[in-house]
Structure 1
Amino acid sequence: MNEERITEKLNILADAAKYDVSCSSSGSKRKNDNKGLGNASNGICHSYTEDGRCVSLLKILLTNHCIFDCAYCVSRKSNDIKRAAFTVQEVVDLTINFYRRNYIEGLFLSSGIFKDADYTMERLVLIAKKLRTEHKFNGYIHLKSIPGASDELMNEAGLYADRLSVNLEMPTEAGLKLLAPDKSHQEMIKPMGYLKKAIIQRTEEKKIFKKAPMFAPAGQSTQVIIGATPENDNQILHSANYFYKNFNLRRVYYSGYVPVLADSRLPALNTSVPMVRENRLYQADWLMRNYGFHVNEIVNDGQPHLDLDIDPKLGWAIRNMHEFPIDINKADLRMILRVPGIGVQSAHKIVSARRFGKLNWDQIKQLGVSLNRAKYFIICNSSEFERRDLTGNNIKQFILATSHSKYLKNTQTQLNLF
């Protein structure tokens, strides 16, 4: 009977956790040097490591009981759903049992808030502590920090978790006031500030004392829901940029609003956020973090929305045709990174390879460049691709046509397999 009840809880609380997307473990390097269980590696939680390995984790809520009544949340207190709560030991046992069966490589643990923030956070921390100290578990642990919890609990959480995150939930303070009037924007920001200072301090200590304990080695992240409130992409990305710069976040996750509850403050139940919008925000975020783009180059008051038809890097290039074409054998790394079809690794390979001789089209392709995009924006040491007097709109249409043709070809290939 107890096993049946645990299974029922697992079904309820794993389903409730699916709306939280901020669960990548990239950045943690917790080594198994105490003859314990597990070994955290880059990319845990339904993600892929750099070598292409798919890894996963147990992703659950401690409870879906909650004292808050946020309009967008399926676990809000006024929603008529089946409620459940794990005990601390139940989560510990599930994690260890699932790990031993090779189902998971880590734990992502969030929770509704029952009683108060400290009461909930204390239990989240105790689960991580038991896994680390009693079971010598070295797998990845991501804890969702509870806004309003004490600094002491936040500090203890950082000692046992690889990553901590505080969900901002809405991109702006105005959006949060509209849909979650019981919550405080400042109360959400406060633990982010504490974690930033603590991570910096412990990193400096680690440089001096090699045996100093790790503190949230995979850093902190957050999640914002898009589409539940009317913020445009300009507001969303500027908000993300603010938190990257001021709180040293590793990641901002963008979760498209899922219409599961009827509420006059929310979009209609049949109004879903297009998956492509979520994808474009992630692409824009990647440009900000890895390609040297300033947020104002991607979106601004005059360009408040990302183009859903093309990726934001191609969008920037088309709006700035006066910057192109660039000579791939002479341009600096900054401009090479801005060429559509050239990724970070390929850009560095180009800069390294051209020291030994001028590169031609075949060599550039071998370095991983997507020539069907890049050819409109670069020249190199061989006969140039036919370059007509193309406008940005011409290039956009050519690329869209090529992408559509490839999609149809791949679809036909898949159909031919049956």
Structure 2
Amino acid sequence: MNFERIREKLNILADAAKYDVSCSSSGSKRSNTGKGLGDSSGMGICHSYTEDGRCISLLKILLTNHCIFDCAYCVSRKSNDIKRAGFKIQEVVDLTINFYRRNYIEGLFLSSGIFSSPDYTMERLIAVAKKLRLEENFNGYIHLKSIPGCSDELMREAGLYADRLSINIEIPTVSGLKLLAPEKDHKDFIKPMEKVKNEILQFKADRKVSRKTPVYAPAGQSTQMIVGATGESDKDIMYSAVHYYSTYNMKRVYYSGYVPVLQDERLPALGTEVPMLRENRLYQTDWLLRFYGFDVREILNKEYPNLDVDIDPKLSWALRNMHLFPVDVNTADKRMLARIPGLGMKSMYKILNARKYRKLNWEHLKTIGVALNRARYFMICDSKTWEKRDLEPHRIKSLILQSSQSKYQKMYNDQLRLF
């Protein structure tokens, strides 16, 4: 084996994979019950996470950065003058096993440029996972990227060896995809999603009849959207995300800020990449929809097509709906408690439990962990202080922003004192 060449390939193909952010491992419980290698539920050292929140490490690479397509936003586009490389199937298997044995990783995230054809590329991705499972008896986490346009038969096979499958929708709207990737068809992205959803449902039904039925993609499927390469509003992006969650039972939708990789008149000018703050606001909105009971139309609509950059989406919604506040934390239901800015889900459940025994005041709420610098404007409790309610929304926003800036300035000054 030419170790220098393998190292060179690894540098190239690991770097090319960094633009794919959809590598969370949440949801898989594949355990090692025999004498095999790995266990996807084990403790790890990197930034992907198991269902219960523990961190695990993944080798994240492309099989190849050769590609037959010329998508304007992609660093691996065929017209881009970059160094190309490609792994052999056995090379990826060997890297995974050797890295695992050295305790560098606990799983594999494998994507690829599309070379020759979608089916040929998908076959090779599956071959890696199949070798790891059957020949190496590897029980660690495997995430495979689905290739747009590949056959249903291959998608079915992929789910038998991978913990999670994902296909990147790439651009949030059909019109945006036509502009930046005219060689691709939106239907080619949807078909694998539909197949994986149906197979997961079918295998779950079959397992109720026979426990010998194999598990199919136990961590489900995910997708990723590039934000800022075209002119979609935050409303367009989040409405698309809700569609994928509800229609294809997505475990996660990821939002990746556009990073300029080369000059193209169809793309935003170099140096105008999407700020991380916008990406962060989209994730916050996603969280509110999945865990806090919000409807996307409450947060984004024709009147408010984009998220507020200055404040988080929950606070922004609350300031637009002051007629619903203040909320009495000692009597409010779970739904309204979850909508108070500065009150997380853990704090909400602590309040529900604590108020069974006594009425709560500001000191109790502070002990629970409520962010009173913002929550106090939207709640009342068993106390006579901080009860002034004649502040306008813009004034509340100003006070909260001032409080946040003072907090960060204090943290910054404290850090300076350490040096």
TM superposition score normalised by structure 1: 0.97
- Indicate conservation of the 8 Å contact 1:29/1:42, yes or no: no
**Deviations along 1:143-202, whole A, 9 cap, x unmatched?**
000011111110111011111001100000000000000000011101101111111111
Per the alignment, residue 35 of structure 2 pairs with: 35
Per the alignment, residue 291 of structure 2 pairs with: 290
- Indicate conservation of the 8 Å contact 1:88/1:126, yes or no: yes
Distance (whole Å) between structure 2 residues aligned to residue 347 and residue 110 of structure 1: 40
C-alpha distance 220-49 of structure 1, shift in aligned 2 (>3 A): closer
Per the alignment, residue 371 of structure 2 pairs with: 370
Per the alignment, residue 106 of structure 1 pairs with: 107
**Residue identity in the other structure for 1:244:** Y
Distance (whole Å) between structure 2 residues aligned to residue 361 and residue 51 of structure 1: 32
Q: CA deviation at 1:36?
A: 1.5
Per the alignment, residue 275 of structure 2 pairs with: 274
Q: CA deviation at 1:50?
A: 7.9
Per the alignment, residue 75 of structure 2 pairs with: 74
Per the alignment, residue 323 of structure 2 pairs with: 322
Question: Is 1:13 aligned to 2:34, yes or no?
Answer: no
TM superposition score normalised by structure 2: 0.97
Distance (whole Å) between structure 2 residues aligned to residue 365 and residue 51 of structure 1: 27
Distance (whole Å) between structure 1 residues aligned to residue 118 and residue 298 of structure 2: 39
Q: CA deviation at 1:49?
A: 5.8
Runs of 5+ consecutive residues of structure 2 not aligned to the other structure: none
CA-based RMSD: 1.6
**Residue identity in the other structure for 2:59:** L
Question: What secondary structure does 2:355 align onto?
Answer: helix
- Indicate conservation of the 8 Å contact 2:24/2:49, yes or no: no
- Indicate conservation of the 8 Å contact 1:342/1:374, yes or no: yes
Per the alignment, residue 143 of structure 1 pairs with: 144
Per the alignment, residue 340 of structure 1 pairs with: 341
Per the alignment, residue 58 of structure 2 pairs with: 57
Distance (whole Å) between structure 2 residues aligned to residue 182 and residue 242 of structure 1: 24
Question: Is 1:355 aligned to 2:352, yes or no?
Answer: no
**Deviations along 1:303-343, whole A, 9 cap, x unmatched?**
00100110000100010000000111111101011011111
Question: What secondary structure does 2:314 align onto?
Answer: helix
- Indicate conservation of the 8 Å contact 2:359/2:382, yes or no: yes
Distance (whole Å) between structure 1 residues aligned to residue 187 and residue 325 of structure 2: 44
**Residue identity in the other structure for 2:316:** G
Q: Percent identity of the aligned residues?
A: 68
Distance (whole Å) between structure 2 residues aligned to residue 217 and residue 57 of structure 1: 17
C-alpha distance 37-383 of structure 1, shift in aligned 2 (>3 A): farther
Per the alignment, residue 312 of structure 1 pairs with: 313
Runs of 4+ off more than 3 Å: 42-45, 47-54
Alignment size in residue pairs? 418
C-alpha distance 386-132 of structure 1, shift in aligned 2 (>3 A): same
Distance (whole Å) between structure 1 residues aligned to residue 238 and residue 249 of structure 2: 15
Distance (whole Å) between structure 1 residues aligned to residue 115 and residue 275 of structure 2: 33
**Deviations along 1:28-81, whole A, 9 cap, x unmatched?**
111111221111139976235688754321100000000000011010001111
Q: CA deviation at 1:209?
A: 2.4
Distance (whole Å) between structure 2 residues aligned to residue 182 and residue 305 of structure 1: 30
Question: Is 1:129 aligned to 2:105, yes or no?
Answer: no
- Indicate conservation of the 8 Å contact 1:26/1:43, yes or no: no
- Indicate conservation of the 8 Å contact 2:263/2:270, yes or no: yes
- Indicate conservation of the 8 Å contact 1:165/1:221, yes or no: yes
Question: What secondary structure does 2:230 align onto?
Answer: coil
Question: What secondary structure does 2:260 align onto?
Answer: coil
Question: What secondary structure does 2:108 align onto?
Answer: strand
Question: What secondary structure does 2:171 align onto?
Answer: coil
Distance (whole Å) between structure 1 residues aligned to residue 48 and residue 392 of structure 2: 38
